[in-house]
Amino acid sequence: MAGRAGGRPPAGLTLFIRAIRLDGAPRAGYPFDLPAVRALADGRELRFPTAVTLLSGDNGSGKSTLIEAVAVAAGLNPEGGSESFRFATRSSESSLGEHLTLVRTPGRNPRSGFFLRAESYYNVATEIERLGVTGSYGGVSPHQRSHGESFLDLAAHRFRPGGLYLLDEPEAALSVNGCLALLLRIADLVEAGSQFLIATHSPILLASPGATILEITPEGPIREVPYDQAEPVALTRAFLADPGRFLRHLSL
């Protein structure tokens, strides 16, 4: 099936959020002029048919803004964290979340939720220390671990079955092995009834089994694509096959 990566989705999918749509949003100005947001104009729904939905797109396409808005609409802290996190180091979130409607599955509510925003996880780590809840994150403060280790601790100890997890470019802190470890953890949590919405550039994370890959184009449409046609996958393969062809275009 187009857009699926790594085989069939697991049986018994738990979809807490089936789709999103814009209601009563302005038509001009940031963030409504971003390609990802323009694609939701005129009441069109963006559907999440599988337990893992991956948003792919170039820098500036709006995928991180869209993930952030879903987090806000779901009641999660805009800077990262769960519903119980209410700190703000610098309020920089867009107004998109105020206009976003989450199309939920009746009678299905997540038992846990978390918004991992890679760029501000340092601030989340500080709040974890302040609240004295390091026990839920492996028993060690994230500040005492490397950036990548703290991300994997979060996934291993704080992400629980039956949860809704929104991840914004988690590969930013992860090695190749770290991405593979996260991929395995995601698969285990999906089998245990969790749902993920992930913005990523990583060809490894885009291979999440049974996932739907939604690619945001510069012109605005969001299209479902198969794994092999996702831009990060195709470009990475082309580069690895012949690095010199790309490097010859660099100004040295």
Which residues 6+ apart lie within 8 Å of 153 measured at CB?
Answer: 137, 138, 140, 142, 145
Residue 29 phi/psi, 5-degree rounding, is 85, 165
Q: What is the 3-state secondary structure (H, E, C) of 94-135?
A: CCHHHHEEEEECCCCCCCEEEEEEHHHHHHHHHHHHHHCCHH
Which run of H or E residues covers position 4?
strand 4-5
Domain boundaries, the chain: 12-119+160-247
Per-residue pLDDT of the chain (252 residues; tens, 9 = 90+): 334 554 444 444 679 999 999 987 666 788 888 888 888 876 789 999 999 999 999 998 889 999 999 999 999 988 888 888 877 666 667 888 888 999 999 999 999 999 999 888 888 888 899 889 999 899 999 999 999 999 999 999 999 999 999 999 999 999 999 999 999 999 999 999 999 999 999 999 999 999 999 999 887 689 999 999 999 999 999 999 999 888 887 755
CATH number (3.40.50.300, 2.40.10.410, 3.10.20.600, 3.20.10.10) of 12-119+160-247 reads 3.40.50.300
**How many Å apart are CA 145 and CA 114, to the nearest integer?**
20
Its pTM stands at 0.90
Give the three-state DSSP class for 37.
helix
Q: Reduce the DSSP state of residue 41 to 3 states and report it.
A: helix
CA distance 165 to 174: 18
